[in-house]
């Protein structure tokens, strides 16, 4: 069994607790083997949109919350930057809940002295900002795609094939989606430059990446609905995307991560 990996900082986004698509069991397994001095929850941790339409909160989702609260009690600094799905927390900026700080944005100082703007990123999504009805419609379509994907992957597992993500494939293959991701990344980098920092750490689009090709570093945490990714910062200031694949986890083996220390190459994301 592997030992616990410890980092200076850990960044998680788009967990979507309260939805059937949330892979809470895999996240719990990840948190058992990864600890940090600071944990940033980069938005859409709880899905208030889905909880409004129908309550869904299994024990595993509660276990994730309890695990994070235990980390806070042990002295880990936890900063919660709400997103659009957990916007109900945006009225509580500056408050602490069980040792968890709620903040509109945060500035993270890495071990190498570089500074990063931490923000969910939905404010820079024109659909969310100016056409909320379309965002809600897209959210329902996404849930339906995930439901179809779960059935498809259940069949794949029976045949011995690994997990395959329909929506991730579509994002990379559909020209408009690729264009949207690129524009989103450039917009977030511009926001980081406006804050005079060295980079930005965000979420929202469920597409993990570390890029340096904009002149200012862009880091996206990904999600815990499909890709099961997190961003970690080592004690030398080096950032890394960790993918908790879950294939070995399903067989009881927790040694199942794919570390991606350098994703500056656009072809790698």
Provide the pLDDT for residue 1: 45
CATH number of 8-268: 3.60.21.10
Encode pLDDT of 204-237 as tens digits.
Answer: 999 999 999 899 999 999 999 988 999 999 999 9
Share of the chain above pLDDT 90, in %: 62
Q: What is the spatial distance between Cα 232 and Cα 152, in angstroms, rounded to a whole number?
A: 31
14, 225 Cβ separation under 8 angstroms: yes
- Residue-wise DSSP of the chain: -PPPEEEEEEEE----BTSTT--HHHHHHHHHHEEEEEEEE-S-SB-HHHHHHS----HHHHHHHHHHHHHHHTT-EEEE---STTGGGGGGTT-EETTEEE-S-EEEEPTTS-EEEE---GGG-HHHHH-HHHHHHHHHHHHHHHHHHHHHHHHHHHTTPPP--HHHHHHHHSHHHHHHHHHHHHHHHHHHHHTT-SEEEE-SSS--EEE-TTSSEEEE---SSSS-EEEEE-TTS-EEEEEE--TTGGGT----EEEES---SGGG-
Provide the pLDDT for residue 245: 75
Encode pLDDT of 129-170 as tens digits.
Answer: 433 433 444 455 555 555 666 665 566 667 776 665 655 655
Quick one: average pLDDT of 17-39?
Answer: 96
Provide the pLDDT for residue 49: 87
Asked if pLDDT for residue 8 goes beyond 50, the answer is yes
The terminus-to-terminus CA distance of the chain in angstroms comes to: 29
Of 70-74, 112-116, 227-231, 261-265, the one with minimum mean pLDDT is: 261-265
Provide the pLDDT for residue 158: 76
With 0.85 as the threshold, say if the pTM is over it.
no
Provide the pLDDT for residue 180: 75
Q: What is the spatial distance between Cα 22 and Cα 14, in angstroms, rounded to a whole number?
A: 9
Quick one: average pLDDT of 235-246?
Answer: 92
Asked if pLDDT for residue 82 goes beyond 90, the answer is yes
Share of the chain above pLDDT 70, in %: 71
Encode pLDDT of 53-77 as tens digits.
Answer: 899 999 999 999 999 999 999 999 9
């Amino acid at each position: 069994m592997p030992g616990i990996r410890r980092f200076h900082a850990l960044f998680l986004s788009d967990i979507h607790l309260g939805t059937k698509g949330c892979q809470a069991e895999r996240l719990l397994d990840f948190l058992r083997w990864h600890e940090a001095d600071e944990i940033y929850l980069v938005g859409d941790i709880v899905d208030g949109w889905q909880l409004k339409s129908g309550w869904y909160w299994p024990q595993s989702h509660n276990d994730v919350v309890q695990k994070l609260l235990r980390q806070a009690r042990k002295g880990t600094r936890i900063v919660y930057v709400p997103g659009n799905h957990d916007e109900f927390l945006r009225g509580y900026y500056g408050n602490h809940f069980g040792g968890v700080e709620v903040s509109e944005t945060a500035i993270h100082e890495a071990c190498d002295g570089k500074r990063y703007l931490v923000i969910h990123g939905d404010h820079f999504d024109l659909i969310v900002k100016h056409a909320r009805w379309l965002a809600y419609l897209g959210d329902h379509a996404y849930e339906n795609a995930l439901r179809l994907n779960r059935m498809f992957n259940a069949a794949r597992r029976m045949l011995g094939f690994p997990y395959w993500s329909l929506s991730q494939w579509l994002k990379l293959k559909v020209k408009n989606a690729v264009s949207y991701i690129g524009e989103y990344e450039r917009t977030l980098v511009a926001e980081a430059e406006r804050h005079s920092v060295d980079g930005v750490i965000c979420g929202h689009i469920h597409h993990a990446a570390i890029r340096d090709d904009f002149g200012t570093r862009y880091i996206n945490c990904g999600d815990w609905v499909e890709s099961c990714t997190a961003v970690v910062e080592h004690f030398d200031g080096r950032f890394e995307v960790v993918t908790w694949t879950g294939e070995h986890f399903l067989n009881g083996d927790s040694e199942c991560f794919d570390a991606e220390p350098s994703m500056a190459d656009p072809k790698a994301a």
